[in-house]
Amino acid sequence: MSPNRKLHILNGQEMYRHFTKTQFLEDELKIPFNEAMCCGSTSDDIFSNEFAKIRSNVHHVTLDEYTEITLKPLQPLLNHEFKEIELWFDADMFCQINYLTILAWLDHTNHQGTITLHIVDDQFEPIENYTLQAQGYYELYKQVLIHKSSSETIDPPSLKKGVEFYLHYLKEDSEIMQFIHQNLHLSDEELTAELLKNFKEYGLGDLQYLDMIKKSRLSQ
């Protein structure tokens, strides 16, 4: 199959809706990556049936639901070869681990085209960009998400910071876990609101925080 035009991969449905509403990249092919790769287990066979089974269990949805929500929007990426790929992701940990997964898949499938990474702010405005090659990211993905260890050299800098946060945030001495333990007197809703307000650099959502709060209460 001959290479197609440029593909834009966006971090999630909310960004996809915003770009569509504002007619940004209006005439471009764009797809959302609806995942939260910083949560739960994964597989080294990215986007495979095994991967989908593991990730659907993480998100407490059926395999069919996961396929519909996450894998179906990715079909243009999975089924075609593109000369250029542009990634649009926030600077927080949540987004950094998500685009690491995309880069790992591109690396593993020997993508040779141009990759441009756009880091955006919480209003989806671009704040910096990088030109990348899909080399080394599959090994980094396995090292970080499967073996839970870091690497001396991680580029770009936002990814290095995201990996550092990812490898530490669920440990008992992390700032998030300490905050949860110190505020278990609050209701789940109140504590979730405080976490969302105080730890924006992690990019976690209410579902992730509620799961962490539930586990903390059970461990008391």
pTM: 0.94
At 1, the pLDDT band (50, 70, 90 cuts) reads very low
Give, for 103, the enclosing helix (H) or strand (E): helix 93-108
Residues 101 and 26 in one domain: yes
- Domain for residue 113, yes or no? yes
Q: Assess whether 182 and 113 both reside in one domain.
A: no
Give the pLDDT confidence of 105-135 residue by residue, as tens digits. 999 999 999 999 999 998 999 999 999 999 9
Indicate whether 150 and 190 sit together in one domain.
Answer: no
**pLDDT per position as a tens digit, 160-177:** 999 999 999 999 999 999
Is there a single domain that holds both residue 112 and residue 208? Answer: no
Q: How far apart are alpha carbons 141 and 148 in whole angstroms?
A: 9
Looking at every residue in the chain, the average pLDDT score rounds to 95
How many domains does one find in the chain? Answer: 2
> What pLDDT is recorded for position 20?
96
Which tokens go with 152? 């001396």
Both 121 and 200 in one domain: the answer is no
pLDDT for residue 14 is more than 90: yes
Residues 46 and 74 occupy one common structural domain? yes
pLDDT tens-digit map of 85-99 = 999 999 999 999 999
pLDDT at 200: 95
* Among 111, 114, 117, 146, residue whose Cα is nearest residue 129: 117
Considering the domain boundaries, does residue 53 fall inside one?
A: yes
Q: pLDDT tens for residues 35-70?
A: 999 999 999 999 999 999 999 999 999 999 999 999
Nearest to 42 by CA among 31, 28, 53, 32: 53
Answer whether residue 191 is part of any domain: yes
Asked if residue 103 and residue 53 are part of one domain, the reply reads yes
Residue range(s) defining the domain that contains residue 193? 169-219
Length of the chain: 220
Write down which residue in 113, 128, 154 finishes a domain. 154
Q: 108 in a domain, yes or no?
A: yes
Give the model's pLDDT for residue 47. Answer: 98
Domain containing 77 — which CATH number?
3.40.50
Secondary structure in 3-state letters for 126-178: EEEEEEECCCCHHHHHHHHHHCCCCCCCCCCHHHHHHHHHHHHCCCCCCHHHH
- The answer to whether the bond into 73 is cis (omega within 30° of 0) is no
